[in-house]
Chain A
C-alpha cells in the first residue's frame, strides 16, 4: 500500500496542509514539514515555486515570489527533502505547474521523487486530456498522479476519477486559490459521483481556512486541504512562523480528525 493510501486508511479524515517550498527559505520549509507532521498533518502538499502561478490567488503568488527570491530551485528542494526523510515518514505530495517538471526532465524529476520519497504529484495545468505527458513516468517511478476535479467538471468527473491515483483533489470553488467566506459548490454531489466509480479517496481544497469549514468539508469527503490560510501565516511571521503554524495545524487537524 502506498503511503498516501495508508494515510486515508486511518480511523479519521485527513488534514492536508499546503506550503510553498522555500518560503521564506528551505531550512524553514524543512522544519515546517517535520513540525506539521508532528502536529497532526496526515499528508503534506509542497508547492514548487513557479514564476507564473496562473492558478494561484495573491497569497500563494506572494509565497512563490518569496521562495524564488530566496534562490529556491528544484534541485535544492530535492536536497532538502532528502534531509526531511531522516526525520519523518509523512506522505509528501508535490503541487507544481508542468513546466518545472518538463524543463527539469520528466524522467529525472520522477526518479528524484522516488529516491526522496515524494509519493504523489498534483499538476494544475495538466488536465485529463494531457495526462499522457506525465502518467507513464509517474507509474514507472511509483509516483501517484493526483487529478483535480472542479465545480465545472460535471460529466468529466467520472472519467477523471476512474483513472485517479492517490486521491482526487476536488476544487471547491471557481477561480484561483484563496480563502473564501462561503463555499457554494455542492461538494457532496461531486463526492458521490467519484465514489460511484472508484475507491480512491476524495479531498477538498480551495477556500478552506477555519476549523468549522474544515469540519464541514471533512464530513462530506475524505479530507480537507488548506493552502492560502497556512501560507498567510508564513507570510506574516516569516522565519518565526513555526510556532503559530504548529498551533494552527494542531487546531485544524483536531477539527478534521474529530469528524465522524
Chain B
C-alpha cells in the first residue's frame, strides 16, 4: 500500500505536475514537525496571537435544561479569526515560509479558512489568493470583505455548484499552474498525503487541550466528544488524542441539508460510497458512474461531497460514529445556544450542538459530553435571518 493510507483510504491521487511539489511538502513537513525551533515559533503564535488555549466551558444552563449528561463546550470560537481554522493555517503558512514560498493560495467554503489564511498571510508577509464558490461569496459576503481587508485577493468560482467543491477544483488548477513558487494551504483533513495527516496534526491541539482541561476540571476523561464534520478538520483535531482511549465515544455530525433521504444533503457517510477524488480515496456523494453529486447544506463550511480519509477509516473500523443534523435542526440549535448560553455558534458548529441536544437527555447525569464549538456565528447572522424570514434591511 502506498503512503498516507488510513485502511484503504487516503493516498496521493494527483496530477504528475503536482507530484514533486507534494513530495517536497511531505519532506519539509516531516522535517519541521520535529524541529524544536519550528514548534517553538508555532506555540508562540498559538499562545500570543491566536489566543490559545481556548476555554473549555461548562455549559451549566444547557446541561440543566436538557436534564441529562453534563455538557462542556470547547470554545474554538474564541480563537483569533473566530474559528478552529487558524490552528491549521498558522502551522501551514509558517511551514510555507520556512520552505521559502512567497505566495499562498487557499480554497474556502464558509470563508473561515479563507479569513484565517488571509490573516496568517498578512502576519507573515505572503501574497494570498483565496478561491471561493460564487454562491458562497454571496451567502458569506462579510467574510469576503474581511479577506479583502486583510490584503487577500478573493476569486469567485463560477464552475459546478459554485460552492466549496468547486473552490477546491479551482485552487488545485491554479496550484498546478503556479506550482513552482506557490504553496497551497488546504483547509481540511483531506486531499493528497501529507495534507490529511498534517492538517490533523495542526488541529490536534484541540483534543490535547480538551484532555488536559478535562482532567483538571473533572479528574477524568469525557464519555463523549463530538464535532461537526464537513471535510472533518475540527472533528479530527478533537478526536485524535482520544482515539487510543477506547472508553471515549467519538461522534461526528454531518450536514443532512434538507434531510439525509433527500437529494439536497451533504451527509457523506450516511449517503456516500467509496471513490477517489480531490487527491484521496474516501467516501463521496456520487452517482453509479462516479460523477460527484451536487451537494447541499445551509452551512457553506459543511457543503462538501467528501470526507477526510482518516474519518472514513474511523467509520470503517467503528471507532467513531457519524450522525447528521438537518438545516432546520442546526438553525434551531443556533438559536438555542444563543439564548441558553449567550454563545452564538457558527452554523457549522450548530450541527454538533443540535445532536448534543438529542443525545444529552438520553444519558445519565454522571456522563460528560464535550462539544466542539468550532467557530463563532457572527458570519451567519444575515443568512440565518434570511432563513427565518427576517428582513434585516442590510
Contact = CB atoms under 8 A, between A and B. Distances in A.
Interface of A: 50-52, 54-55, 57, 61, 68, 73-75, 98-104, 124-130, 132-133, 147-154, 156, 160, 171, 174-176
A150 to B, nearest CB: 4
A152 B15 CA distance: 11
Contacts of A54: 15, 169, 172-173, 278
Given A127-B16, A130-B11, A55 B176 contact: yes
Interface residues of B, number: 39
A111 to B, nearest CB: 16
Contacts, number: 118
A127 B177 contact: no
Interface of B: 2-3, 11-21, 159-160, 165-166, 169, 172-173, 176-180, 273-279, 284, 286, 288-292
A129 B3 CA distance: 9
B288 A103 contact: yes
19 contacts: A52-B277, A54-B172, A54-B278, A55-B173, A55-B176, A57-B173, A68-B291, A75-B289, A101-B290, A102-B274, A102-B290, A103-B273, A124-B16, A127-B15, A129-B19, A132-B2, A151-B17, A156-B19, A176-B177
Given A52-B169, A98-B13, A152 B179 contact: yes
Contacts of B13: 98, 125-127, 130, 133
Given A54-B173, A125-B276, A61 B2 contact: no
A230 B14 CA distance: 25
Contacts of A147: 16
A175 B286 contact: no
A160 B279 CA distance: 19
B382 to A, nearest CB: 29
Contacts of A100: 289-291
A98 B179 contact: no
Given A125-B276, A128-B16, A171-B17, 17 more contacts: A54-B278, A98-B276, A103-B288, A103-B290, A124-B15, A127-B19, A129-B2, A129-B19, A130-B2, A130-B11, A133-B13, A149-B16, A152-B19, A153-B19, A171-B16, A174-B179, A175-B17
Q: Classify the interface of chain B: helix, strand, loop or mixed.
A: mixed
Nearest to A175: B177
Nearest to A72: B289
Contacts of B165: 52
A73 B287 CA distance: 11
Contacts of A68: 291
Contacts of A160: 16
B178 A174 contact: yes
Contacts of A75: 289
A96 to B, nearest CB: 9
A75 B291 CA distance: 13
Contacts of B3: 129
Nearest to A153: B16
Contact of B286 (A103, A153, A156): A103
B277 A174 contact: no
A61 B179 contact: no
B16, B177, B180, B274: residue with the most chain A Cβ atoms closer than 10 Å: B16
Contact of B275 (A102, A129, A176): A102
Nearest to A131: B2
A30 to B, nearest CB: 19
Contacts of A104: 289-290
Contact of B16 (A101, A132, A148, A175): A148
Contacts of B278: 54
Contacts of A133: 13, 276
A152 B180 contact: yes
Contact of B177 (A126, A129, A174): A174
A125 B14 contact: yes
B17 A174 contact: yes
Contact of B17 (A50, A98, A150): A150
Contact of A102 (B12, B276, B279): B276
Contacts of A55: 15, 173, 176
Contacts of B11: 130
A32 to B, nearest CB: 22
Contacts of A126: 13
B303 to A, nearest CB: 15
